[in-house]
Amino acid sequence: MTFLLSDEQRAFAASVRELLAKSDVPAVATDWAAGRPESGRALWTRLAELGVTGLAIDEDHGGLAADPVDLVVAFEELGRAAVPGPLIESIAVLPTLLAGAELAADWLPKLAEGAALATLALPPHLPHALDADTAELCLLVEGGHLHTTETVGAPKESVDPTRRLVAVRAAEDLGAIDASRAFDTGVLACAAELLGAGHALLAAAVEHAGNRRQFGRPIGKFQAVKHQLANALVGLELSRPLVYGAAIALREESATVARDVSAAKVACADAADAAARAALQVHGALGYTRECAVAAFLLRVRALRSAWGTAAFHRARVMKALV
């Protein structure tokens, strides 16, 4: 089967990329990590104007009721820019989780228009609620039930300083809920974000390899560097069909959704990690410094590798489906 993005989807990706390129996302991320969310909320509003925050929300609640493929398109661009905040939770997961729930009428319009952020904890794969100290809505899925939450203690440190992890406990029980589709949507969005981050790392490495000179020539001319960057590109490009295949499976409610989103997450995490290692080696010690953009992406990839299920969990899901 041949799969191509539509002209509208490519234009949407270009619009999101252009917006993020003009938004000084590194400065936004620095503010977010320091507990100053104002610039991040302003960026969130601009993303809402493009329809990003309403992609997974139905039209009755002010959203676009978009295809999961559109969600992947958006999250690849968000990952390419390393946008901070509870992106997966607020844009992909909570709209899916709340569809048909009593909270939908109150919260989905606010999420669609970018007036509110939402997050959740979904143990064991998501034991803490990301940015619960900033989000207006925080929920917990535990024991097959949906709960409002209470914060427990101060936010915990993450390897990525823009990610504040907050321990929460159940407050009001909102009733039984099946969170399987919401979880799979979160895994898919995480895979797409990793894919975008991997491409950003590779692009930074290629640019640096073309500018840095050793022995009178750019280091990108050396075969060892070429091979390393080529291998990183191959890994990223081979993982891309898995992401879009999983999006199509999710759209069609295929029986293979769990297998497909897990395969996409494993492939994208491995490919992004390989791109991160290549970028770090090309940049040398410079890649560790805060002044180098590569450092932020290295930390984001490291954090997302274990978010929304570890590699061991997702490999086991794929194995179970195959066996």
Rounded distance between C-alpha atoms, residue 71 and residue 91, angstroms: 9
pLDDT at res. 293 = 79
pLDDT at res. 214 = 75
pLDDT at res. 55 = 97
DSSP code of 149? E
Rounded distance between C-alpha atoms, residue 181 and residue 97, angstroms: 8
pLDDT at res. 68 = 96
Residue (of 108, 83, 81) closest to 32 by Cα position: 83
SS3 173: strand
Residue (of 91, 88, 82) closest to 29 by Cα position: 82
Rounded distance between C-alpha atoms, residue 170 and residue 175, angstroms: 12
Series of mean pLDDT values for 10-residue runs along the chain (323 residues)? 85 97 95 95 96 96 95 98 97 93 92 96 96 95 94 88 95 94 98 98 88 71 81 96 97 96 98 94 73 85 96 96 90
**CA geometry: angle at 63 spanning 59 and 64, to 5°?**
80
> pTM of the prediction?
0.95
Would you say 84 and 28 are in contact if contact means Cβ atoms under 8 Å apart? yes
Rounded distance between C-alpha atoms, residue 303 and residue 320, angstroms: 26
